[in-house]
Amino acid sequence: MMRNFESLAYVPAEAFLSAFFLLALVLSFWKRIRTNRSLFYLAGFFGITIALTLELTAGRVKGNGALLFYGMIRNDHLSQLFTVLCLFSSLFLFLFSFISRETTRKFKDGAEYVLLILANALGMVLLVSSANLLMMYLSLEFLSFTSYLLTGFVDRGEKTSEAAVKYLLYGGIASGVMVYGLSLLYGIAGSLDYAALHMFFVNNTVPGVTLAIPIIFILAGMGFKIAAFPFHAWCPDVYEGAPTPFTAFLSVGPKAAGFVLIVRFFYQIFGSTDGGEILTAVGGLDWSLLFAVLSACTMTFGNLAALHQKNIKRMLAYSSIAHAGYILMAVASQTPFGVSAIFFYFAVYFLMNFGAFLVVILVSNEFNSELIEDYEGLAWKRGKGAFLASMLAVYLLSLTGIPPFAGFIGKVYLLLAVFQKGSSLYWLAVVAVINTVISLYYYARVLQLMFLSKRQKGVTLSAMERHHVVPYSVLAGLSFFTVLFGIYWVPIDHLSRLAVNFLK
């Protein structure tokens, strides 16, 4: 356990982000700087880039990591991997904000927007590495708080207000319930520290109901963050009302951070490995079954609700609920391999989800519409339309989980984790496969509209211009990797194997 100042050297990215956030805040006091939006965007972009570089060049973690700041923060492979993932998603948020018309035209100065994104990134990287209930709760609040504000940032009328207020109220109640659960857990075990809590539950048996109540309360907060089934209600409205770049970000970065929170909480406190391939549950709570049920409900609900959506952002929102359900399978598997599978899936999901949203942004830049029916005949509108449509096809097919795209491999990993657990969870694998078939229907509906209908109604696309080069090449790059990792996924596999180390 390391003291405060010694620990700073181990968290260069976090330290840099906090300092940069404060610096940017002070700089934004000058009107000249704050009204220059592109300057501030660039500053934010470079800030995240530097943090990313610092994280990537930081010293290698040895073994199962180190406890920093008196055990508040844990620096291990899991936290490093997800820190990089989260920072990349913040980077893409900046990139998309440059591209999207909503975020480039609709507000006057970008200082607060950039500041909030920086704070949000800081919240995420703290969340993925916290090893203490207090730290975990605070960074979760930090992340949620900035997310509420960013949701309501671009004023698009009633929808935005509805989204922001719903998000805030829902989040407030979820975190209130969660902190109540945390306080009960503290009352039971007398400690806030993950390791100490683990030791307590190894050495003491707690009556089932005593533990079940705090765990359910805590799950409410976690489920809210990842939009799992009974706590998902905010998700579609927020995704629809928020600025599209932020929607894309919300379904990747914060969600990944939320999953790390779940993994750390349950694997570190309520699981113990004896070098085996499956964790044994500690504390007399069968959380494998709990998550299996949660996962089945979440994916089924998400897919069924996505079937009848008219707005593509809402459709992708429900699809992201379904994906959270898939990923929960890996948590339910209770295996170290499950953690690898989660990272693998997020790495892939990052590519395809950001890609799909980038197409949505570009189309809405052209049509000013997010309705699925406006995508009709997109493939036949100039070369640009054909490009956009085929890119969207790649991402949607990958999201469905069809080979040879990366999404397929991701799903295979998740299913492998479930199979490793043994026959008790085979039913969950069956549910997942059925769900994949359901999801094919609504993804394919978009494809059918784009490709098979030649009726070219509505607006035409503008001609290709010079400043279009960046977004279109990003789009192509994302799809390249989506295909590449569907064929050759060894690099990600290597990385994801590292994530397990925190359990040793």
Partner 1 sequence: MLLKGIFLYFAAVILLSAVLMITRRNPVHSVVYMLLLFFHIAGVFVLLNAEFLAAVQLIVYAGAILILYLFVVMLLNVDKEKLGSRAHRFWPWMAGFGILIAGEVVLLLLRGSFPVNPELSVQQTGAGAEALGIALYTRYLIPFEIASVILLVGLVGAVMLAKKTIKE
Judge whether 455 and 332 are in contact, CB under 8 Å.
no
Question: Residues 492, 493, 499, 503: what is their CA dihedral angle, to the nearest 10 degrees?
Answer: 180
**Residue 145 vs 443, nearer CB to partner 1:** 145
The pair of three-digit structure tokens given for residue 246, joined into one six-digit string: 């932020």
30 binds partner 1 (CB under 8 A): no
Q: End-to-end distance of the chain based on CA atoms, in angstroms?
A: 17
141 binds partner 1 (CB under 8 A): yes
183 binds partner 1 (CB under 8 A): no
106 binds partner 1 (CB under 8 A): no
Other C-beta atoms lying within 10 Å of the C-beta of residue 13: 26
Its sign, for the CA torsion 268, 269, 275, 279, is: negative
SS3 state of residue 68: strand
**Residue 188 vs 278, nearer CB to partner 1:** 188
Q: Which of 43, 126, 306, 391 binds partner 1 (CB under 8 A)?
A: 126
**Residue 116 vs 432, nearer CB to partner 1:** 116
Q: Least Å distance between CB 149 and partner 1?
A: 4
Judge whether 239 and 314 are in contact, CB under 8 Å.
yes
2 binds partner 1 (CB under 8 A): no
218 binds partner 1 (CB under 8 A): no
- In three-state form (DSSP H/G/I as H, E/B as E, the rest C), the secondary structure along 169-231 is HHHHHHHHHHHHHHHHHHHHHCCCEHHHHHHHHHHCCCCHHHHHHHHHHHHHHHHHHHCCHHH
Judge whether 256 and 296 are in contact, CB under 8 Å.
no
In sequence order, what are the residues at sequence separation of 6 or more whose Cβ sits closer than 8 angstroms to the Cβ of residue 297?
229, 230, 325
Q: Which of 60, 62, 108, 454 binds partner 1 (CB under 8 A)?
A: 108
Q: Which of 33, 101, 104, 142 binds partner 1 (CB under 8 A)?
A: 142
Place of tokens 């494998």: 288
75 binds partner 1 (CB under 8 A): no
97 binds partner 1 (CB under 8 A): no
Q: Which stretch binds partner 1 (CB under 8 A): 83-91, 145-153, 304-312, 362-370?
A: 145-153
Residue 257 amino acid letter: A
SS3 state of residue 67: strand
Q: Which of 119, 242, 321, 360 binds partner 1 (CB under 8 A)?
A: 119
Q: Least Å distance between CB 388 and partner 1?
A: 33
Q: Which of 67, 87, 95, 188 binds partner 1 (CB under 8 A)?
A: 188
For helices 469-487 and 406-421, the axis angle rounded to 10 degrees is 40
Q: Which stretch binds partner 1 (CB under 8 A): 203-211, 376-384, 459-467, 489-497?
A: 203-211
Which stretch of DSSP H or E encloses residue 493? helix 490-498
Judge whether 398 and 352 are in contact, CB under 8 Å.
yes
195 binds partner 1 (CB under 8 A): no
Judge whether 413 and 325 are in contact, CB under 8 Å.
no
83 binds partner 1 (CB under 8 A): no
Show the site string, 146-175: x = touches partner 1 by CB under 8 A, - = not: x-xx--xx-x--------------------
Size of the site for partner 1 (CB under 8 A): 42
The pair of three-digit structure tokens given for residue 225, joined into one six-digit string: 């963050």
Show the site string, 248-287: x = touches partner 1 by CB under 8 A, - = not: ----------------------------------------
* Binding region for partner 1 (CB under 8 A): 3-4, 18, 21, 25, 69-70, 72-73, 108, 112, 115-116, 119, 122, 126, 132, 134-135, 138-139, 141-142, 145-146, 148-149, 152-153, 155, 184, 187-191, 204, 206-207, 209-210, 213
